[in-house]
Structure 1
Amino acid sequence: MKHYFTLLLVITLFTACKNDKTTEDNTPTENLVKNEAFSTMLNDFYEEGLKLNPLSATSAGDNRYNNSLPNTLTDAFSKKEKAYYSDFKAKAESYSNSQLNAKQQLSRDILIWDCDINLERFDFNENYTPINQMWTKQLTVGTLASGASSQPFNTVEDYDNWLQRVDQYLEWVASAETKMKAGIDNKHVLPKALIAKVVPQLKTIAETKLEDHLFYTPIKNLPDSFSDQDKTRLTTAYANMVSNKVIPAYTSLYNFMKDDYMAAGRTTSGIDDTPNGKAYYEHQIKLYTTTTMTADQIHNLGLSEVKRILAEMEKIKTQVGYKGDIISFFDFVRNNKDLTPYNTPKQIIDNFNAIHETMKPQIAKLFDVKPKTAFEVRQTEKFREASASAEYNPGSLDGTRPGIFYTPIPDATKYNVFSDEALFLHEAIPGHHYQISLQQEDTELPKFRKTLWYSAYGEGWALYCESLGKELGLYTDPYQYFGMLGMEMHRAIRLVVDTGMHTKGWTREQAIKYSLDHEAESEASIISEIERYMANPGQALSYKIGQLKIMELRAKAEKALGDRFDIAQFHNQVLEPGCVPLALLETKIDQWIEASK
């Protein structure tokens, strides 16, 4: 779900919104007919983007490019990508307000921001670190290889498409090794702690026997409708692909990363210890928060939020009758046997589904518009489970593939349930599943906006949804409410430790200790989280920044509208435009408040 969109000039946003009502000749923009040439340009932007990023097409359920996977690490690809963003930015800027209706003006501005942030990205050397333990292509492709994700394995053509795509992917793997060697020469490498997490991931793919190999999984699920001839051919082809292509490629990468790359790995934690790292982190803040906030402002906000939430946690500690201090209470919650009641992954999945059932009678009061896309809860695949967090994978644009809430369960007997209600509200319903599915199902949005992602909006919405638990009939157990506070604390801590590591010289160990001292997550989970922030600087900032803005807007609307305030209508207003920068969202809600008076 990573997209390169941000707010580059907040002033531009407000100016654009003010100008939406009339054109240069004072014609109300809502009275303008849709400019078809502009709509065609938007569609071209989307279609050309799919050719550059065919994994995005596959994820959206568009199967036209399922056999394609360009090597994004080559100079030729970078040149093509730069030309794409430069050309479409110029095309978008060639249209004025007088030529577009209000909705098209918004789409134009968003497209320009998209192009700007992507062009800015080329100022940095992201390709020197193409692989990490959390976010990068080898994990995406591994998920596709399992046959349980968006890459279809229903027809003979599907199976042949994957063979072609894997060949191209292995070119990327070879280039990744080359880029990381160049990164060593340029002192732009991963921290050793992250390398240590990637190495076992690669080892699994390099050393697993054919019959149990992840990339061989589709052969175990060959459709009965295939002819015997096709089954034999594909079985032979996949065995060759795994044994003679995938395993040798991963063996080479594994040996390089565990030896030469590990030796060259950084002992520091922050991105500011890489060439041009300070400027890169500023770029990441803009990308992920859609604001012009500084690292210091965010760090201080985090400290303030941690203090506030800690006071609320003290109340729960008192309510349950615990006599020790808050840090020992964290340990008590972590190790409370009553909060680890399960023996199998199925029991954990069933509990999430039961949470959904509990919510259903109340959810209609808060949301009168619901998505059509189906929804499922699944356990995270074993090959990536050890380093994974709970996450949501969107359904396909046509609704044929459900939205999926993945939860890692490395050991069901140690799985602590204290935050499961808040987790479901965030990752599933009404969090990511409602927001993303409604955006994808909106027939009035141009295609490129259906899959648009601003992390501050999307993650901010999901974190806001955690606060709706009591209104949805949840949090009757004080430990589940404490779990909600814990998840909010987790996001507040992120503001402190992410900026701490990337701008203030904090070590991985300092960040881990700060987290352990302020939240009840397990040490293993906290370590995984801190290393996540090291792998993708700035992303963790988006949640709290977005949540606070949405909560602020709700409070403003409740105060201004009084008895006229309708929570379902407020949610409609927040969700209706799909992902937008926070300044645009604020302007939209302000206009709705005035109209509702």
Structure 2
Amino acid sequence: MKKILLVLLTAASFSACNEGKKSETKPETAMTSNTAFSTLLEDYYEEGLQLNPVSATTAGDSRFNDQFPNTLSEAYRTKLRTYYTSYKEKLNAFSSKDLSETEQMSKAILEWECNINLETMSFNKDKYLPIDQMWSVNLFMGQLASGASAQPFKTVADYTNWLQRLEGYLEWLKNAETNMREGIQQGYVLPKSLIVKVLPQLKEMTEPNLDNHLFYSPIKNFPDSFSNTEKQELTEAYTRIINDKLIPAYQSLHDFMATDYLEAGRESSGIAETPEGEAYYQHQIKLYTTTNMTAAEIHQLGLDEVARITMEMEKVKNEVGYEGDLKSFFNYVRNNKELMPYKTPKEIIDNFNAIHETMKPKLNVLFDQKPKTPFEVRQTEAFRENSASAEYNPGSVDGTRPGIFYTPIPDATKYNVYSDESLFLHEAIPGHHYQISLTQENEKLPKFRKTLWYSGYGEGWALYSESLGKELGLYTDPYQYFGMLGAEMHRAVRLVVDTGLHSKGWTREEAIQYSLENEAESEAGITSEIERYMANPGQALSYKIGQLKIQELRKKSKEALGDQFSISEFHNQVLATGCVPLALLEDKIERWIEEKL
């Protein structure tokens, strides 16, 4: 699941699953809710929405749909720093002995939130490197502008809200260019290989023919209820802002990045080559894995996992009767035309829906709690399809907007299906869709916990979900099972190459070569992945670290509980707290085991 870091609320964005249906590890009947503490949590959430109004929109809260704060300004950063500092101080007024167990968990999470975000703000990376080819605000704003995402375009007020939001976004774009110019002087600049990927994304937004401009899309899709006068006024307003402001802003940014910025671009690949780079990378490890592991420890873990998974891959290679070595088998799988059976994107979408139908009976065994939020599979929008990965976008908190699994299909005839089952389990069901929607639907969670995202937990759960394929009636085809192993290998390789790039001085080319030698992804796909890690150090580590922790907790629970162990109950317990740092999840499962015994 790709996360858009809209502001410096780096750990707080989207979420994971369900607490209310099962109680936490200790009954709370003897302790009533602490009203003052509940008010604190509500205030924290409300102030957070005002600071991050786009996150409010993605959660389905429309109160701030006209706002887009300049998150790059010093005034905003000061306001955000005060926000976290003040709530950290307010937490000290509450003793854990006066709080229920759920409230104690909320206190621990909120303390983590304040600390990790203040730590993030102590670094300058986000200030001087606000734009990249995959993670940055401008890409998410394109999704909203399409009219097919979280920003609503159903009423005249919706249309005017977007115009106001664009004014704030234009200020952000201008500030981004200013900061990047200063970043050149301060030693913060993107690698050249990433800059050249950003340029066509910016260039596309300078399209002079409005009928082909992404930001003009809402005008081409007016609701029938609009009067002719309303349509005319809105058309004129959108035409003015796109022609007079938006296109010039994108043109200015494009021209700067294509000349001065590209010339200053780094030849190096890792974040260690920037000021405070080593310390920043250790912070990113903590942020994304929610552990205190070192880069060296993670690198070795990755090497060990690559070796283990390689042995499993060898078994599949032998099962299908392939006589060459594993590396040549990767190429065989990549280029096997029998694994590229489709001609249209619709056929690919239909296949994902068929996977869902196949596993529905087994889902009832492994999960006795399922989300009410609707779910859809869609093709990734054309403007970002060539550089996008498959991803999940959460539904609204109230469940009225569906969760959406986006899959890029630049050329359906070259789409290889060998990993589709594991991909669906991860990005859709029971991965991100179950985890996120169940949390958002849980009425016992405070609001701020419904929209949290910790990558170690969230991506760890999604990767763990891939391992459930055989239990869900999938992976009967050895190539699909190889696809699962390939997906797991992909995450193991990430441990090696991400730490290699950012702590061991590896070049982009060395990281690409290591990946090519150890997994079956295409060279184009691997190149895109390596550049993804270059843009957002540490994020790629979260998947495997989280998966291994959940698998460890399942094994520990089963061994300790014996006949009392229920897989659906275990899944309830893992999902019950929503997204949490892994140490808090481990404490919770250990308390659950003790209570059961």
- TM-score relative to the length of structure 1: 0.96
Post-superposition shift, 1:30? 5.7
Tell me, in whole angstroms, the C-alpha distance in 1 between the residues paired with 2:312 and 2:585: 29
User: Which ranges in structure 2 are unaligned for 5 or more consecutive residues?
Assistant: 13-24
Aligned: 1:85 with 2:66: no
Residue 442 (structure 1) aligns with: 442
Post-superposition shift, 1:320? 0.3
SS at match of 1:31: coil
Written as runs of structure 1 = structure 2, the 5 A alignment for 1:240-251 is 240-251=240-251
- Counterpart code for 2:170: L
Residue 595 (structure 1) aligns with: 595
Contact 1:423 1:466 in 2 (8 A): yes
Residue 267 (structure 1) aligns with: 267
SS at match of 1:392: strand
Contact 1:376 1:405 in 2 (8 A): yes
Written as runs of structure 1 = structure 2, the 5 A alignment for 1:23-102 is 31-102=30-101
Residue 21 (structure 2) aligns with: none
Residue 207 (structure 1) aligns with: 207
Post-superposition shift, 1:279? 0.4
Post-superposition shift, 1:583? 1.2
Residue 509 (structure 1) aligns with: 509
SS at match of 2:376: strand
Post-superposition shift, 1:595? 2.2
Written as runs of structure 1 = structure 2, the 5 A alignment for 1:1-40 is 1=3, 2=5, 4-5=10-11, 31-40=30-39
SS at match of 2:445: coil
Tell me, in whole angstroms, the C-alpha distance in 1 between the residues paired with 2:252 and 2:11: 35
- Counterpart code for 2:546: G
Post-superposition shift, 1:99? 2.5
User: What is the CA deviation profile of residues 45-89 of structure 1, one whole-angstrom value per residue up to 9, with x for unaligned ones?
Assistant: 000000100010000000000000000011100111111111111
Aligned: 1:580 with 2:580: yes
- Counterpart code for 2:374: A
User: What is the CA deviation profile of residues 257-314 of structure 1, one whole-angstrom value per residue up to 9, with x for unaligned ones?
Assistant: 0111000000000000000000000100000001110000000000000000000000
User: What is the CA deviation profile of residues 566-585 of structure 1, one whole-angstrom value per residue up to 9, with x for unaligned ones?
Assistant: 11111001000111111111
Residue 392 (structure 1) aligns with: 392
Post-superposition shift, 1:208? 4.8
SS at match of 1:207: coil
Tell me, in whole angstroms, the C-alpha distance in 2 between the residues paired with 1:524 and 1:179: 31
Post-superposition shift, 1:562? 2.0
User: What is the CA deviation profile of residues 189-228 of structure 1, one whole-angstrom value per residue up to 9, with x for unaligned ones?
Assistant: 0000110100000011113521110000000100110011
User: What is the CA deviation profile of residues 404-457 of structure 1, one whole-angstrom value per residue up to 9, with x for unaligned ones?
Assistant: 000011111111000000000000000000000011111011000000111100
User: Which range moved further: 121-130 or 428-437?
Assistant: 121-130
Tell me, in whole angstroms, the C-alpha distance in 2 between the residues paired with 1:238 and 1:497: 45
Contact 1:30 1:102 in 2 (8 A): no
Aligned: 1:144 with 2:144: yes
User: What is the CA deviation profile of residues 116-157 of structure 1, one whole-angstrom value per residue up to 9, with x for unaligned ones?
Assistant: 111111211121000000111000100000000000000000
Tell me, in whole angstroms, the C-alpha distance in 2 between the residues paired with 1:545 and 1:121: 21
Residue 15 (structure 1) aligns with: none
SS at match of 1:378: strand
Tell me, in whole angstroms, the C-alpha distance in 2 between the residues paired with 1:81 and 1:34: 29
Post-superposition shift, 1:592? 1.6
Tell me, in whole angstroms, the C-alpha distance in 1 between the residues paired with 2:98 and 2:364: 40
* 294 and 41 in structure 1: CA distance in 2 versus 1, 3 angstrom threshold: same
SS at match of 1:203: helix
User: Which range moved further: 560-569 or 426-435?
Assistant: 560-569
Contact 1:4 1:114 in 2 (8 A): no
Residue 536 (structure 1) aligns with: 536
Residue 321 (structure 1) aligns with: 321
Aligned: 1:494 with 2:488: no
Contact 1:30 1:101 in 2 (8 A): no
Higher relative contact order (CA 8 A, sep 6+): 2
Residue 179 (structure 2) aligns with: 179
User: What is the CA deviation profile of residues 456-506 of structure 1, one whole-angstrom value per residue up to 9, with x for unaligned ones?
Assistant: 000000000000001101000000000000000000000000000000000
User: What is the CA deviation profile of residues 530-572 of structure 1, one whole-angstrom value per residue up to 9, with x for unaligned ones?
Assistant: 0000000000000000000000111111212222211111100
Written as runs of structure 1 = structure 2, the 5 A alignment for 1:120-269 is 120-125=119-124, 126-269=126-269
Tell me, in whole angstroms, the C-alpha distance in 1 between the residues paired with 2:101 and 2:476: 45
Residue 116 (structure 1) aligns with: 115
* 5 and 212 in structure 1: CA distance in 2 versus 1, 3 angstrom threshold: closer
User: Which ranges in structure 1 are unaligned for 5 or more consecutive residues?
Assistant: 7-19, 22-27
Tell me, in whole angstroms, the C-alpha distance in 1 between the residues paired with 2:556 and 2:11: 27
- Counterpart code for 1:112: E
Post-superposition shift, 1:5? 3.6
Residue 339 (structure 2) aligns with: 339
Post-superposition shift, 1:367? 0.2
